[in-house]
Amino acid sequence: MRVLRVLACMMLAAFAAPGASWAQAVDVPEDEIVITGKQPGPKMWVVPDEDSEVWILGVTNYLPKGVRWDTERVSAILQRANLVVAQTEVKAGVFTVVDALLTDRDVFFLPKKQRLEQILDPALHARLVIARDKYKVDADRQERLRPAFAGLMLIGGAIKQAGLDSGKNPEDQVKKLARRRGVKIRPLQVVKGKQAIKAAEGISDAAQIACLEASLVVADRASTLLRGYATAWARGDIATLRANPPPPELRACEDELIASVDLLEKTRTKGKAAYLAEVAAGLAQPGTRLLLINMQDALDDDGLIANLRARGYAVEGP
């Protein structure tokens, strides 16, 4: 049950920001990412006005264990900030997740007595078996899950083996610093857990398979994809992040999810508009505001930074 609760929470996070779960990954040579200690990054952007400023920090979900990022610049901003706007939040209590596992089992599980081996292409299933043996994933539990969730379970094992730590992710660290200074924290938008779980029923068969294939790519190259992204972020290496877009399998997963789940499309669309509104609101009154956003959503060609500059904002930064 504990494993399934974690899996359900991972799914809910995927609905808040799909890029964070599957697509936040770049390829960096293995010999370039074996680092420890405090790093000089990450880079930030600022939109200034005469008596106000809005800072933008792109964040990642994981950091290699032993790697620390330079929080001093963020701390200095928080000293004068009156608001931190965090990413979209999914409100899902323990009872919500347990209820979903008991009453909405079809969202996560295959029909009774059915197994992945029976529904997957033999070649795809063979890849899954090799990967789960490598990353020590429970075969019986995984075989009973729908493909997309079996893939998330695989990523969890790969993340652990790659030495990545989600327990000390940058967003949580910034929130902790803000609380110490008494700075108000508000999520960009809130998605109810029950609403997300209900919407997950609409994940199409094509999306299930596409996301399983994407998960296999991420798992097989976890040390270069996920670890590489986190390390480039900690170094403040924006050039590497921009030069290495997510692999096509990850984009295919995201596209299929958006095509089959209305809530996901609405959440992403509203999120983009909400970030632009937060910048405008921050500049309309004196003071300092800090926005936290998934780094990929900041850097994309149609991401926040590009949209701000296209609208004539004087964005300072990389």
Both tokens of residue 29? Answer: 């040579």
pLDDT tens over the chain, length 318 residues: 333 334 444 454 444 444 444 445 555 544 444 444 555 678 999 999 999 999 999 998 878 877 788 899 999 999 999 999 999 887 765 445 555 554 566 788 899 889 999 999 999 999 999 999 999 999 999 999 999 999 988 988 888 888 887 667 899 999 999 999 999 999 999 887 777 777 778 889 999 999 999 999 988 877 677 777 888 888 899 988 888 777 888 888 888 888 888 887 888 889 999 999 999 999 999 999 999 998 988 998 899 999 999 999 999 998
- Longest distance between any two alpha carbons in the chain, whole Å: 65
Q: What is the pLDDT of residues 11-30, one digit of tens each?
A: 544 444 444 444 455 555 44
- φ/ψ of 48, rounded to 5, equals -95, 160
69 and 84 in contact (C-beta within 8 Å)? no
59 and 19 in contact (C-beta within 8 Å)? no
Residue 299, SS3?
helix
Dihedral of alpha carbons 56, 253, 227, 187, sign? positive
Encoded amino acid at 263, one letter: L
Q: Report the Cα–Cα distance between both ends of the chain, in Å, rounded.
A: 45
Distances (CA, A) of 3 to 107, 153, 203, 294: 16, 9, 21, 26
**Bridge-partner residues for 192, per DSSP?**
91
Encoded amino acid at 188, one letter: L
Half-sphere exposure of 226 (CA within 13 A, CB side): 32
Q: Which run of H or of E encompasses 83?
A: strand 81-86
What CA–CA distance (Å, rounded) separates 79 from 177? 10
Residue ranges covered by each domain of the chain: 2-310
How far does Cα 51 stand from its chain's mean position?
A: 33
Asked whether the bond before 64 is cis by omega within 30 degrees of 0, the reply is no
Residue positions counted in the chain: 318
Whole-model pTM: value is 0.84
What CA–CA distance (Å, rounded) separates 40 from 199? 40
- Radius of gyration of the chain from its Cα atoms, rounded to whole angstroms: 20
Task: Identify the residue whose tokens are 């001093």.
Answer: 72
Both tokens of residue 12? Answer: 């809910």
Task: Tell me the helices (H) and strands (E) count for the chain, helix number first.
Answer: 18, 11
